[in-house]
A and B are shown apart, each in its own frame.
Chain A
Amino acid sequence: MIELQNVSKEFDLRNESAFHALKNVSLSIRKGSIFGIIGRSGAGKSTLVRLINLLEIPTSGTVRVGGVDMTSLSPVELRVARRKIGMIFQGFNLLSSRSVADNVAFPLELEGRGSDEIKGRVSELLELVDLSGKKDEYPAQLSGGQKQRVGIARALAANPDILLCDEATSALDPQTTTEVLALLKEINRKLGLTVVLITHEMSVIKEICEEVVVLDRGEVVESGAVFQVFTRPQSPVTRALVAGVMNQEIPPHFAALDFLQEPEGDCGLLVRVSFLGDTAAEPIISGMVRRFGIDVNILYGAIDHIQGVPFGTLIVELSGNGSRNAALDYLKNLNLGLEVIGYVRRNLESSL
């Protein structure tokens, strides 16, 4: 649906130099998917989505939407193509001079639709975003969440194939964010719209995106299924971004311990086990105890949900006389995420 190939964007600065906002970005977004873009502020996220509808012209590289090279279009063709790409904004950007209904009618007027057709379509859209009762009010009279729902209705008016969301929930409170996300998800499911979503709220990505790309200083540092990227972040940037929502970091009171690389006297082995889906923790632990004659002490446990699928993390201490290596192999064979943290002396309990 959307295909970016080696796209770079430079902004000319006043002092003759250029600022590389995007460097050699390639990505492809599947039709009908919800695609997330994350990264720190200034990473180039907005520039990236604005390239999709050519609000920014790429310095080099190609932008294809639905197989069409956007940069090859004439101004008139570009306007027609843009009608198939809806966009919503952090600041809503509604027309203060128009009522709710007339804001939603705006893109239809641009297309030159008849007033009866517009009326029908507008009431249909207001129904969808649950704002039928507010149709004659003005944007200034609405709450943030209501404004964004008008924005969504307006973006959908011309039946686009793609919806671009630039920090669309960043100005909203958590409750409203949840509502707006639910609406986006519903639209994606009902209308088969491809949704591209920028956010700095990782919980948003976790909740509704299927794939995600991580941008840092204009470069793609990581991309893939949200599950993959969030549970196995590779780059420090990604790790920092997802830390808040993924419980990926070792809890601070463990991090403060003295870890040994090699076993030394009476010590325990600290391991982090992560598991996806319905793998239950209990049989794993009792399995290890039974089979290998070791003691398993659960020190920390957390379960996360990514789009409804549980993702669990356990930090356990393996001790006792049994074979710890055999136990680790056993865990590996169960296809669990496994990370050996290190050995700690057995006075652990007292130090915690």
Chain B
Amino acid sequence: MSAVIWNLLFKSFGETLYMIGLSGLLACLGGIPLGVLLYATVPGGLMPRPWLNRIVGFVVNAARSTPFIILMVALLPFTRFVVGRSIGTTAAIVPLAFAALPFMSRLVESALKEVEPGVIEAAQAMGASPWQIVCKVLFPESVPGLLRGVTLMLVNLVGYSAMAGVVGGGGLGDVAIRFGHQRFRPDVMVVTVVIMIAMVQVIQGTGDALARCVQRRRGLED
């Protein structure tokens, strides 16, 4: 393969990292509070608000069941409003974040559900406010689960980001389609796929290692 193609691959790899990194960050920033909200507002929860819970839950489910490709197109006007343009790598981050955010909120919700109710009750008995319970009990106690959630969300984003070419986002997936598929370059196709597999492996491996490290530090076997 020529230096030009290697350069292109290198550039696309950078775009993919940029898209996953920023949309992953946005998904965390939005998904974590939303996950806490889903967790806390259930009947019998920290701050029961059954109606709010039902509405937010419905919206999250609806967003999660919308196919990514449709989400991307549907969000075009919004993307233009936020980023100033609807085409390009940065523009692709908006639908990516929107796809990952509701997923992240469910992952956070289920990580928080793993926290033993007795521990929360003990904190309540000690006079902790709901906010203190979230910050000092729920988050620290569920760190391994949250790390696993972030890992899963990022792995999913690797797949979604491959479709970003549709909105001119570039990235490895785009190279695979335009060079590997449309210009009959199986070698390019193979290299992009191998890079993406390696990315997933690295993300998964790092996430698992971090989670295990925290568990071990706490003297917990997993």
A98-B140, A140-B220, A141-B219 known; A107+B118 contact, CB < 8 A:
no
> Interface readout for A87-98 with B: 1 if CB under 8 Å, 0 if not?
101010111111
- Between-chain CB contacts (< 8 Å), 7 pairs: A53-B125, A93-B118, A94-B122, A95-B137, A97-B218, A110-B132, A158-B127
A96-B141, A110-B136, A140-B218 are known contacts; what are 20 more A-B pairs with Cβ within 8 Å?
A55-B121, A55-B124, A78-B127, A82-B124, A82-B127, A85-B125, A89-B122, A91-B118, A94-B119, A94-B122, A95-B141, A96-B119, A96-B220, A97-B218, A106-B123, A106-B126, A110-B123, A138-B217, A138-B218, A164-B125
A: contact size bracket: 20 to 34
In the bound assembly, the distance between CA atoms of A86 and B126 in angstroms comes to 7
Count of chain A to chain B residue pairs whose CB atoms are closer than 8 Å in the complex: 72
In the bound assembly, the distance between CA atoms of A18 and B132 in angstroms comes to 33
Q: Are A137 and B219 in contact (CB under 8 A)?
A: yes
> Interface readout for B61-74 with A: 1 if CB under 8 Å, 0 if not?
00000000000000
CB distance from B219 to the nearest CB of A (A): 4
Q: Are A107 and B218 in contact (CB under 8 A)?
A: no
Interface of A, helix, strand, loop or mixed by DSSP: mixed
> Interface readout for B137-148 with A: 1 if CB under 8 Å, 0 if not?
100110100000
CB distance from A83 to the nearest CB of B (A): 4
B residues near A (Cβ < 8 Å) are: 116, 118-119, 121-129, 132, 136-137, 140-141, 143, 217-220
Q: Are B220 and A79 in contact (CB under 8 A)?
A: no
Cβ of A298 under 8 Å from chain B: no
- Complex interface residues of chain A between 23 and 73 (CB less than 8 A to chain B): 53, 55
- Complex interface residues of chain A between 155 and 188 (CB less than 8 A to chain B): 158, 164
Q: Are A106 and B136 in contact (CB under 8 A)?
A: yes
In the bound assembly, the distance between CA atoms of A97 and B124 in angstroms comes to 17
Residues of B close to A95: CB separation below 8 A: 119, 137, 140-141
A residues near B (Cβ < 8 Å) are: 53, 55, 78-83, 85-87, 89, 91, 93-98, 106-107, 109-111, 137-141, 154, 158, 164
CB distance from A164 to the nearest CB of B (A): 8
CB distance from B63 to the nearest CB of A (A): 30
CB distance from A326 to the nearest CB of B (A): 60
